[in-house]
Chain A
């Protein structure tokens, strides 16, 4: 049995807004196995994106994580990300865990080129390796001394001063060139046919699909163990969607990354994922292997979701009611107001995620 790469235990997340306290995540439990693709499905607002952000401990204010653990397996050692300091987390971000964002063009900084934005990841996480590579090349005496200094004492004051002086700091070019060739290689992996041209473009000059490839390139640059993909194809044209999905699949095969795939599209889940977790109103309500979920959905919400997929010849069926406001969430099970099978206990007590079979867990009083 493969190990769990990521375990989210009883995660509680609250947003403190003008209109009240939003109980965004209500004791969320999630396990992602090493090497699998786990889909996280749910309607807009159910909390899937913030779950992803929480894994990187990047929830923006007014959000606050107020309970639970996020256990990550870093090279054999399990650490609770929620109790680490910023320096440790910064190390993990981009290196061990990466994120691909929903709107590629807004995830890229409009005033920097593609090259600069991808190089940034390398500069931050692989600085030593690149400097060592530079040192293998022919250098002037001055440059050699500087690069050796960068290796031995990167925080030195002299270095900081020299790096700001206009003509002298041209030494930086050697490092940038070294990184550039790596950047181009990464872009080629993204199935971009003319990376030399793309590399100097600005985000607004890129098409949606191209921009998303760049975002994925940034995420995979350092070959992270876990990739969190937050609706990467939602904002793209349907034809491009397919290309990107294929790309992700191919990259996973090549790099062996574990993927947490966040989406609201059940079709994509069927295509891409090994297992699926269904989220509703800040709770994980059902987790199962993909085939199992589609064949045998157990949670009333999942059942309703699958039934509401429009099919030719079938009548339109939608779920009654609307997603509850999370400022004053319903007591007990959050779905009970819309659930056709609701019982009295559902209004009082919140059910716990229970494992029915090895492949199927569910959070519902029916079971």
Chain B
């Protein structure tokens, strides 16, 4: 079957999965007694005395299926599901903090994917030699170190000790400027690095980049492990195939064989992995954001979970699930594009 048919089939499969996610979150929510669920809508402390009114207003005593559709409407259409502890509607609160997470992700993803692929390929080509063992060690360390600990240690050395790379998104003097509504600063994309240039202030962009160094290092170290390992084993598998010998028999150079023949086959599982990884990073990295005090969605979710601020967590889980399912879809489509054998299915 062609690529088109496969795409259509995959898109159709998307819908039940998305519905499934909403059902799961809704089901989790139903675990809570009615009163607690009513409290999610409180904007004023006085309303605590009159919970039945809230229950009535939001239909929390109605049959489950009615509640479900009502809840769906609240979340997606009206954006009125839940108010967080700062009395901001949850949806807006999350959207406001999204740029911080996305910016971090955008700077980390290329490093992770590039280093992962290059190191993994080289490790496979030089199997069992020094490079291979070193990268293996690096990978194992990456997965063994607690992310929060790595962040702390780096901050201790590079911020407290050397003063090179500070936490948070920008410095305090920059903050005076960009957070002041009456200054000439304009937020275009809400990415400090891009907006710095757009506002004609490259020094602010540089400041933003300086603040990104440590979190990007942490994320890279933690995540290259998986990509390196998958790339390596996938490359080793490809190199052991008959078509590699056949390609050599055609007279191609070693480089051509590795790059043209082996790598295209080996990249396929890595692409899948990278897509999921990117999705994970885009939905916010809870720990890294907390340690470096980057006010992103991940940190927000973390604080909310500690309170606990239930509507925030549930909405966040819902949105993350969606992002992941979309990422899965894109990855599957990419996979079908790269590997013609899949389209048969």
Contact call A110/B251, Cβ cutoff below 8 A: no
Q: Given the known A-B contacts A94-B249, A124-B250, are A110 and B242 also in contact in the complex, defined by CB atoms under 8 Å?
A: no
How far is the CB of A236 from the nearest CB of chain B, in Å?
Answer: 16
Q: Given the known A-B contacts A94-B251, A106-B241, A124-B252, are A111 and B246 also in contact in the complex, defined by CB atoms under 8 Å?
A: no
Q: Given the known A-B contacts A106-B241, A109-B261, A109-B265, are A202 and B340 also in contact in the complex, defined by CB atoms under 8 Å?
A: yes
Contacts of B245 in A (CB 8 A): 53, 58, 60, 101, 107
Inter-chain CA distance A60–B254, complex, in Å, is 13
Contacts of A60 in B (CB 8 A): 245
Which interface residue of A53, A106, A109, A215 has the most chain B CB atoms within 10 A?
A: A109
The count of residues in chain B whose C-beta lies closer than 8 Å to any C-beta of chain A is 21
Q: In this complex, what residue of B is CB-closest to A99? A: B249
In the assembled complex, A146 has its CB within 8 A of some CB on chain B: no
Interface flags, B224-250, vs A, CB<8A=1, else 0: 000000000000000001110111111
Contact call A91/B251, Cβ cutoff below 8 A: yes
Contacts of A112 in B (CB 8 A): 264
Contacts of A94 in B (CB 8 A): 249-251
Contact call B252/A111, Cβ cutoff below 8 A: no
How far is the CB of A279 from the nearest CB of chain B, in Å?
Answer: 20
Q: Given the known A-B contacts A58-B245, A106-B243, A204-B344, are A111 and B253 also in contact in the complex, defined by CB atoms under 8 Å?
A: no
In the assembled complex, B293 has its CB within 8 A of some CB on chain A: no
The count of residues in chain A whose C-beta lies closer than 8 Å to any C-beta of chain B is 31
Contact call B249/A110, Cβ cutoff below 8 A: no
Contact call B341/A93, Cβ cutoff below 8 A: no
How far is the CB of B269 from the nearest CB of chain A, in Å?
Answer: 13
In the assembled complex, B339 has its CB within 8 A of some CB on chain A: yes
Interface residues of A in 49-63 (CB under 8 A from B): 53, 56, 58, 60
Inter-chain CA distance A99–B344, complex, in Å, is 30
Inter-chain CA distance A91–B250, complex, in Å, is 9
Contacts of A202 in B (CB 8 A): 340-341
Q: In this complex, what residue of B is CB-closest to A116? A: B260
Contact call B251/A90, Cβ cutoff below 8 A: yes
Interface flags, B64-83, vs A, CB<8A=1, else 0: 00000000000000000000
Contact call A125/B251, Cβ cutoff below 8 A: yes
Q: Given the known A-B contacts A90-B252, A90-B253, A101-B242, are A109 and B338 also in contact in the complex, defined by CB atoms under 8 Å?
A: no
Contact call A107/B340, Cβ cutoff below 8 A: no
In the assembled complex, A333 has its CB within 8 A of some CB on chain B: no
Q: Given the known A-B contacts A110-B341, A111-B264, A204-B340, are A98 and B243 also in contact in the complex, defined by CB atoms under 8 Å?
A: no
Contacts of B249 in A (CB 8 A): 56, 58, 93-94, 98-99, 101
Q: Given the known A-B contacts A124-B251, A124-B252, are A108 and B338 also in contact in the complex, defined by CB atoms under 8 Å?
A: no
Q: In this complex, what residue of A is CB-closest to B247? A: A109
Contacts of A218 in B (CB 8 A): 246, 250
Q: In this complex, what residue of B is CB-closest to A218? A: B250
Q: Given the known A-B contacts A60-B245, A111-B265, are A93 and B251 also in contact in the complex, defined by CB atoms under 8 Å?
A: yes
Q: Given the known A-B contacts A60-B245, A106-B243, are A120 and B339 also in contact in the complex, defined by CB atoms under 8 Å?
A: no
Q: Given the known A-B contacts A111-B265, A111-B339, are A95 and B251 also in contact in the complex, defined by CB atoms under 8 Å?
A: yes
Inter-chain CA distance A164–B241, complex, in Å, is 28
Contacts of A10 in B (CB 8 A): none
In the assembled complex, A266 has its CB within 8 A of some CB on chain B: no
Contacts of A92 in B (CB 8 A): 251
Which interface residue of B241, B246, B248, B341 has the most chain A CB atoms within 10 A?
A: B246
How far is the CB of A353 from the nearest CB of chain B, in Å?
Answer: 28
Q: Given the known A-B contacts A109-B261, A111-B264, A204-B344, are A93 and B242 also in contact in the complex, defined by CB atoms under 8 Å?
A: no
How far is the CB of A229 from the nearest CB of chain B, in Å?
Answer: 12
Residue pairs across A and B with Cβ atoms less than 8 A apart, 26 shown, are: A56-B248, A60-B245, A90-B253, A91-B251, A92-B251, A93-B248, A94-B249, A94-B251, A98-B249, A99-B246, A101-B242, A101-B249, A106-B242, A107-B242, A108-B243, A109-B247, A109-B261, A109-B264, A110-B340, A111-B340, A120-B250, A202-B341, A204-B340, A204-B341, A205-B340, A218-B246
